[in-house]
Chain A
Amino acid sequence: EDQVTQSPEALRLQEGESSSLNCSYTVSGLRGLFWYRQDPGKGPEFLFTLYSAGEEKEKERLKATLTKKESFLHITAPKPEDSATYLCAVQAVGDSSYKLIFGSGTRLLVRP
Chain B
Amino acid sequence: ETGVTQTPRHLVMGMTNKKSLKCEQHLGHNAMYWYKQSAKKPLELMFVYNFKEQTENNSVPSRFSPECPNSSHLFLHLHTLQPEDSALYLCASSPGQGREKLFFGSGTQLSVL
Contacts and interface: CB of A to CB of B under 8 A. Distances in A.
Interface residues on B, range: 20 to 34
Contacts of B48: 96, 98-99
Interface residues on A, range: 20 to 34
Given A98-B31, A98-B50, A104 B40 contact: yes
A20 B3 CA distance: 30
B42 A49 contact: no
A100 interface: yes
Contacts of B98: 96-98
A42 B105 CA distance: 7
Interface string B102-113: 111111000000
Contacts, number: 59
Interface string A43-63: 111100100000000000000
B43 A102 contact: yes
Interface in A66-99: 87, 89, 91, 96-99
Contact of B41 (A98, A99, A100, A104): A104
A16 interface: no
Contact of A97 (B4, B97, B101, B106): B97
Contacts of B103: 46
B50 to A, nearest CB: 7
A96 B56 contact: yes
A4 B42 contact: yes
Interface of A: 4, 31-32, 34, 41-46, 49, 87, 89, 91, 96-105
Interface of B: 4, 31, 33, 40-45, 48, 50, 55-56, 90-92, 94, 97-99, 101-107
